[in-house]
């Protein structure tokens, strides 16, 4: 597995996080461009409350926001993740990686 592909979950090493040493930096997954891995959908008109129902997908949040203002409908920001495990060290590391699928126009 790639070295920067995991994000540790619940290790309890807060005291070590403050130490400065080379090669130990925390990489935030899915945050390279701020919206990496995110998809934007307008809510379906007349959809049931509490259950998300999507209608049209937009290429970016700005377009979804403008359409939300025009129609009075809400919009959804969806991100997809896959759980991963790294067993290369002494302690297994649990993490996540963004699923990178090209948005489908529609």
For the residues of 2-29, what is the DSSP string, one character each?
-GGG----S---HHHHTS--TT--PPPT
Q: Is 4 left (phi over 0), alpha (psi -120 to 50) or beta?
A: alpha
Residues 77 and 26: their CA atoms lie apart, in Å, by: 25
pTM of the predicted protein model = 0.54
What confidence tier does 71 reach under pLDDT thresholds 50, 70, 90? Answer: very high
Indicate the DSSP class of residue 46.
T
Greater confidence (65 vs 7) lies with: 65
Asked whether residue 57 carries a pLDDT value surpassing 90, the answer given is: yes
Q: Return the structure tokens found at 2.
A: 């790639």
């Amino acid at each position: 597995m790639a070295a920067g592909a995991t994000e540790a979950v619940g290790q309890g090493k807060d005291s070590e996080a403050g130490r400065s040493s080379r090669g130990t930096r925390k990489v935030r997954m899915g945050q390279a461009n701020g919206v990496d891995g995110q998809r934007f959908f307008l809510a379906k008109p007349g959809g049931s409350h509490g259950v998300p129902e999507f209608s049209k997908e937009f290429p970016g949040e700005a377009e979804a926001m403008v359409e939300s203002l025009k129609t009075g409908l809400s919009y959804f920001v969806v991100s997809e993740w896959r759980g991963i495990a790294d067993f290369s060290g002494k302690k297994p590391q649990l993490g996540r990686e963004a699923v990178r699928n090209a948005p489908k126009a529609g």
